[in-house]
Amino acid sequence: CMVGNLGQEVGLLPEGFRDTLEQIFLDWQSKLAACLSAAQACGELSRRADCNELAAFFWIGWEGAVLRARLVKSDNPLNTFIAGYLRGLPQ
């Protein structure tokens, strides 16, 4: 995605971009954490799960999977990551 691409080039961008990109990632992370919290409330995710940590792990891993998918020109890294992430969610 464009945000991930810019993040990889942050050293070449004006200083303010770093903070803006970080805020975008944190916003995405917060939205996913809220979804995971909703899953906890419905009993679909363990109450012991740290939703913020799981959301951070997702976005860190997803960006790596996107990079790898581009490298190998295949969606296999994306599929592998999401399958592993979902299997690892505490029930």
Residues 6 or more apart from 65 whose CB is under 8 A from it? Answer: 77, 78, 80, 81, 82
pLDDT of residue 21: 84
Q: Which is more confidently placed, 64 or 2?
A: 64
Single pTM value for the model: 0.84
* List of domains in the chain: 2-6+13-88 (1.10.357.10)
Token representation of residue 42: 């419905």
The string of DSSP codes covering 3-35 is HHHHHHTGGGS-HHHHHHHHHHHHHHHHHHHHH
11: pLDDT confidence band, cut at 50, 70 and 90?
low
Other C-beta atoms closer than 10 Å to the C-beta of 24 total 16
pLDDT single digits (tens) 26-46 = 999 999 999 999 999 999 999
